[in-house]
């Protein structure tokens, strides 16, 4: 059994993708918020943490930078939110975006583009199926948040191991840039 999912953040730099996600999640009566950039998503994750944190973060991969979505996932995990990259980038093909939506780190693929609310339905079905069978990480993150009540870099380090190495490296490089700017 998994803990209830009360709040979801969808981060994508394309408004048509955000609208499609919102359309789907409204039909499911789920509380979702959106961010139109990685920067905005990170701010929302950090600001909401102490009051009503996100349970799940669904982020695009390529927004301001090639791996900005990986950084969003990193920050999400640091703040005990189960984070997934939902990208139009075909991770099996090196030629970029196609008519497939990839869900990482689940390594699942949905036919169609994120601008279609039905694709978000399939994405969510895959996420829920994964949580039903392998929800240990999600439940662990919720328990850490309930008892520790502080962001943990160690959560991010461990959770990001499930992502391809290039995404981990991209997230670390962007994290270093973010730290340098502060």
pLDDT in tens, 117-169: 999 999 999 998 888 776 677 777 777 777 776 777 777 888 887 888 888 88
Architecture of domain 8-181: 3-Layer(aba) Sandwich (3.40)
Domain ranges of the chain: 8-181
- Beta-strand pair 108-111/82-89: unpaired
| Percentage above 70 pLDDT, the chain | 90
> What is the Cα–Cα distance from 88 to 93, expressed in whole angstroms?
11
Query: Helices H, strands E: what count in the chain?
Result: 7, 6
pLDDT digits (tens, 9 = 90+) for 18-46: 999 999 999 998 889 999 999 999 999 99
């Amino acid at each position: 059994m998994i803990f209830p999912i009360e709040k979801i953040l969808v981060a994508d730099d394309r408004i048509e993708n955000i609208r499609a996600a919102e359309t789907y999640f409204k039909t499911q009566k789920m509380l979702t918020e959106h961010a139109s950039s990685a920067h905005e998503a990170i701010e929302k994750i950090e600001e909401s943490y102490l009051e009503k944190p996100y349970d799940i973060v669904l982020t695009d991969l390529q927004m301001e930078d090639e791996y900005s979505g990986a950084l969003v996932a990193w920050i999400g995990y640091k703040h005990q939110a189960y984070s997934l990259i939902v990208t139009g980038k075909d991770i099996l093909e090196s030629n970029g975006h196609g008519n497939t939506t990839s869900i990482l780190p689940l390594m699942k693929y949905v036919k169609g583009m994120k601008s279609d609310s039905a694709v978000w339905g399939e994405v969510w079905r895959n996420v829920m199926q994964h949580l039903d069978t392998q929800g240990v990480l999600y439940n662990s993150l919720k328990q850490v948040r309930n008892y520790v009540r502080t962001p943990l870099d160690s959560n991010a380090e461990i959770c990001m191991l499930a992502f391809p190495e290039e995404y981990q490296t991209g997230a670390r490089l962007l994290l270093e840039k973010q730290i340098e700017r502060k």
